[in-house]
Chains A and B, each alone.
Chain A
Amino acid sequence: MNVMEVRNVKKIYSSKLNGNESQALKDISFSVKKGEFLGVMGPSGSGKSTLLNVISTIDTPTGGTVAIGGKSIINLDEDELSEFRRSRLGFIFQDYNLLDTLTLKENIILPLSLARQDVRVIEEKVKKISSILGIDDILNKSPYEVSGGQKQRAAAARAIITEPELILADEPTGALDSKSSTELLENLSELNKQNAATIVMVTHDAFSASYCNRIIFIKDGLLNCELERKGSRKEFFNEVLKTLSNLGGVLSDLV
Chain B
Amino acid sequence: MTLFKLSVHNIKHNFRSYFSYFISTLFSVFMLFMFYSIYYNKQMEAFSNGRVKVYTIFKAASIIVIIFSALFIWYANSFFIKSRKKEMALYSILGMKKKEIGTLLFCENMFLGILSIIIGLPLGVIASKFLLQLLVNIMKARVVVQYTVESRAVIATTLIFIALFLFNSIKAYGEYISSGSLNF
Contacts and interface: CB of A to CB of B under 8 A. Distances in A.
A8 interface: no
A59 B14 contact: no
Contacts of A60: 181
Contact of A101 (B9, B86, B92, B93): B9
A91 interface: yes
Interface stretch (A21-29, A108-116, A196-204, A206-214): A108-116
Contacts of B182: 58
A58 B93 contact: yes
Interface string A53-71: 0001011100000000000
B9 A56 contact: no
B104 to A, nearest CB: 11
Contacts of B95: 82-87, 111, 114-115
B49 interface: no
A91 B93 contact: yes
Interface residues of B, number: 21
Nearest to A142: B13
Contacts of A115: 95
Contacts of B96: 82, 86, 114
Nearest to B101: A82
Q: Give the most central of B14, B97, B98, B181: most A CB within 10 Å.
A: B97
B184 A111 contact: no
Contacts of B181: 58-60
A83 B93 CA distance: 10
Contacts of B13: 101-102
A86 B1 CA distance: 15
A69 to B, nearest CB: 16
Given A82-B92, A97-B86, 13 more contacts: A59-B181, A78-B98, A82-B96, A85-B94, A86-B95, A89-B93, A97-B90, A99-B87, A100-B14, A102-B9, A106-B1, A111-B95, A114-B95
29 contacts: A56-B93, A58-B93, A78-B97, A78-B99, A82-B95, A82-B96, A82-B97, A83-B95, A84-B95, A85-B92, A85-B94, A86-B94, A86-B96, A87-B95, A97-B86, A97-B184, A99-B87, A100-B14, A101-B9, A101-B13, A110-B1, A110-B94, A111-B94, A111-B95, A114-B91, A114-B96, A114-B100, A115-B95, A158-B94
